[in-house]
Amino acid sequence: MKKLLSIVMVFAFIVSLLLTNAPFSEATETMVSSENQMLHFVMQVRWGNVIDESENIDKANFDGSVSVSENAKVSLQRTLLFEKHNEDADKILSKKDSVSWTSLIYNHYDGVKVAVSSPADNNIIINTVAGSVTKTAQELYNLTDQYVEDLGDGREIVINVYPAQKNSSFFLKIFWGKIDKQEYNERRCAAGTEGTARCLLPLLNADGSFKIDSGGTLNLIKPLRFESPDKIESQSDTAISWTSRLYGGVDGILVNLKLDADELDDEDTVTITFNNHEGEDKFPKNYSILDLYHNQYTEDIVASGYGVAFQVWKKANKHLIRVKNKMTVYMIEDGVKQPIPSEEVLASQGLTFDDVEVIEQEEADTYADGDAINYADGTIVQEEGAPEVYVIENGEKKHIQDPNAFTSLGYSWRKIVRVKSGILGLYRSGVAMQANSIHPEGALIRVAGNPKVYVIEGGKRVPISDIQLFNARKYDWSKVLVVNENQANKFQIGESLAYPDGSLLKAKNGKIYMINQNKKQWIRSADDFRKAGYKAEKVLDVDDSTLESFKDGLDVVADDIVE
């Protein structure tokens, strides 16, 4: 079955690439309506020595920003590399409205991923000290390959765009109750327990409603943590109302906001009402739809000790999904779904089909469409029947020039991945690897006679602190290259490697966190852990200093209905 699935995936991948790489035509432009549609996409911007090997490794200032017009929105999804060279370099200065940064480049690149919502005709400006790019949202949305702005001296601005559907949608979790993690208490009153320790908290009447005022429609996916007498009173494609009683903890709903590209603008709102908490500057209260989406998380006070929170809900990074009754498997990363063309590519990323979750098409449509996943950086590949051997780096194939180069770089003939004829034609060609070349991104190296292992990341040699972190990163010990001191010393030593997205880490006090987008998310309770589908055997015990290296993210509150 897995072999058949791999064949189907490869075929679907090749067909999609042939369609995606079709020449630009005027027909594409006519897809935009006269109302200047609101377009949504994720954009990756990299600057510096992005393509091929560095021609100039002297320090270069790339301070800059991504900015949009007043009636558009841009927000930071994540940084790419951003290493701390000094106190002022490589910092994010603003995360929304205008995403801005300081950046110093030596022999590699920095970058950002941003989410953009903009009318099609409006300009998006990527500006750096070393050069800039200005394009309309429609021009960016239509890109079918990466855009390269050559800045000279071997440096570039490189843009990749991952479009969402024009009539896009997103899932929104709305929780009310004890949303503050310092005050959270999951005790509830069960029938017959009034007056007991479970009912020390006062009753909160949280009856209310949620409606979309304009710009689209909404669909109730499910109530969250509703217990008797909680219930949904009414629902339509514009409004939902409920009965909710709280003695601590939270209730909530998960909704799908379906946006109308022709009608949506930055003034469209949703309204939440709590029937017993009306009044000026309280409730009912309106929230901009685009602000909710780009803020990712918004909260307000409802009553003393109680609040309401809006959270844009997506699968965690590295999560694998498949749409019901369809064969293509995707990996989720930064709100983008990326098709996986074969089981071999999946394995090179340290993932397996056992981790695939089957979802509905409605949920899959909330993610932007991304490029197919490549073989992991550092993978050695060779097409069937062909003599050439390549190493993969940043979506490029780099020809290893001859057997001497192959052995000098520490590669093993036994570790070559054989791929079907034609597959490597889908990769761009990079600079050939020679005996004196530096190792590419993703290479695992150690110096002969020393067990310390490093990964090449961002043009630096980054230490891997211990075997637990090595395994959490899903590295393969058999792929560690043994090199000499001269080869290793071509790289500066970077900061220690962090635990990857999806890791479950347990603090000394017993709290468990999930790592997502380089932040730690507290899993509030054993119920939340279980209902979110996590497995106890995957929890790793770590020092508090490890957790302190991550910023706090949103709490993990399970989506399941409490029976």
What count of Cα atoms within 13 Å lies in the side-chain half-sphere of residue 99? 25
Q: Given pLDDT bands bounded at 50, 70 and 90, which one contains residue 14?
A: very low
pLDDT in tens, 180-214: 766 654 444 444 454 554 455 667 889 999 999 99
Per-residue pLDDT averaged across 354-383, rounded?
Answer: 93
Q: Which of 463, 488, 513 represents a domain boundary (last residue)?
A: 488
Q: Domain total for the chain?
A: 4
Whether the CB-CB separation of 165 and 141 falls below 8 Å is answered with no
Query: Do residues 69 and 185 both lie within one domain?
Result: no
Q: Is the peptide bond before 229 cis (omega within 30 degrees of 0)?
A: yes
DSSP assignments along 237-252, one per residue: SSEEEEE-EESSSEEE
| pLDDT tier, 553 (very low <50, low <70, confident <90, very high otherwise) | confident
**Residue 113 falls inside a structural domain:** yes
- Give yes or no for residue 527 having a pLDDT over 70: yes
**Do residues 185 and 102 share a domain?**
no
Based on the fold, state whether residues 194 and 279 are members of the same structural domain: yes
Q: What is the DSSP letter of 238?
A: S
On whether residue 336 sits in a domain, the answer given is no
Specify if 438 maps to a domain: yes
Q: Are residues 412 and 471 in the same domain?
A: yes
274 & 200 share domain: yes
Question: Phi/psi at 127 (nearest 5 deg)?
Answer: -120, 130
Q: Are residues 286 and 387 in the same domain?
A: no
- Same domain for 281 and 308? yes
Which pLDDT does position 58 carry in this prediction? 84
Provide mean pLDDT across the span 5-23: 42
- Quote the Cα angle for 118-121-122, to 5°: 55
Does the residue 338 lie in any domain?
A: no
Whether residue 315 has pLDDT greater than 70: yes
User: pLDDT tens-digit profile of 438-461?
Assistant: 898 889 999 999 999 999 988 889
Considering the domain architecture, whether residues 153 and 179 belong to the same structural domain is answered as no
Q: Residue 250 pLDDT > 70, yes or no?
A: yes
Q: What is the mean pLDDT of residues 88-112?
A: 92
Domain encompassing residue 41: 33-163
Asked, for residue 530, whether it belongs to a domain, the answer is yes
Task: Identify the pLDDT of residue 318.
Answer: 86
Domain end (from 102, 133, 163): 163
What radius of gyration, in Å, describes the C-alpha atoms of the chain?
A: 25
Q: Looking at the domain assignment, is residue 319 inside a domain?
A: no
The answer to the question of residue 359 being in a domain is no
Point out the domain boundary residue: 313, 344, 366.
Answer: 313
153 and 96: one domain? yes
What's the rounded mean pLDDT across residues 30-39? 66
Specify if 366 maps to a domain: no
Please give the residue that has the higher pLDDT: either 200 or 553.
Answer: 553
What does the pLDDT read at residue 555?
82
Average pLDDT, the chain: 86
**Residue 61, beta-bridge partner list:** 104
53 and 141 housed in the same domain: yes
Both 394 and 433 in one domain: the answer is: yes
- Give yes or no: residues 156 and 193 share one domain: no
Closest CA to 159 of 95, 129, 116: 116
